[in-house]
Amino acid sequence: IILGIYALPAMFYWISQASLAAVIIHAVGDLIAGPQTLKVFWQVSPIEFFIFWIGVIVTIFSSIEIGIYTTIISSGVLLLFRIAKARGQFVGRVQVEQVKLSINNYIHLTTRNIYVPLDHSDGSNPTIIPVSS
């Protein structure tokens, strides 16, 4: 594509505009989202689905540039809102050991740290007390 933009503009003069339009339409045709893709957009995040449609509508009725600006600004505002409203929890460290059962005893293999909420709101075992460090 870069080669076509920089090296071939003189050749584009001799190609009809209809042929160039057909090439562009063919190249962009695969970018159109199908109904199944839109359904997945809706299932993943309905708010971002609406931002997508706002961008499509603004692009159709104004220009591509304004449509891109609209979607970028809308997504940026949504991102800033989600960052501002992020839920935080205090976590504590729990040491987890991997052991292997042999015939006569346990063999210690590895130890690693995991981090769980101090209030056990994630459903972790309430008898295990995390160390706040």
Contact criterion met (CB below 8 Å) for 115 and 99: no
For residue range 75-130, what is the model confidence (pLDDT) as tens digits? Answer: 999 999 999 998 888 889 999 888 877 777 777 778 899 998 888 888 888 888 88
Verify that 99 and 131 share a domain, yes or no. Answer: yes
Instruction: Please give the mean pLDDT across all residues of the chain.
Output: 86
Pick 3 or 95 by higher pLDDT.
Answer: 95
**The pLDDT of residue 109:** 79
> Distance from first CA to last CA of the chain, Å, rounded?
54
Verify that 64 and 108 share a domain, yes or no. Answer: no
Structural domains of the chain, count: 3
Contact criterion met (CB below 8 Å) for 74 and 54: yes
Verify that 93 and 128 share a domain, yes or no. Answer: yes
Verify that 39 and 79 share a domain, yes or no. Answer: yes
Task: Pick the closest to residue 118 from 109, 103, 130 (CA basis).
Answer: 130
Verify that 59 and 21 share a domain, yes or no. Answer: no
pTM of the model: 0.54
Q: How many CB atoms lie within 10 A of CB 53?
A: 13
Verify that 44 and 82 share a domain, yes or no. Answer: yes
Q: Which domain holds residue 41?
A: 33-86
Task: Pick the closest to residue 68 from 112, 34, 60 (CA basis).
Answer: 60
Pick 27 or 94 by higher pLDDT.
Answer: 94
For the segment 30-48, the average pLDDT, to the nearest whole number, is 89
Verify that 13 and 44 share a domain, yes or no. Answer: no
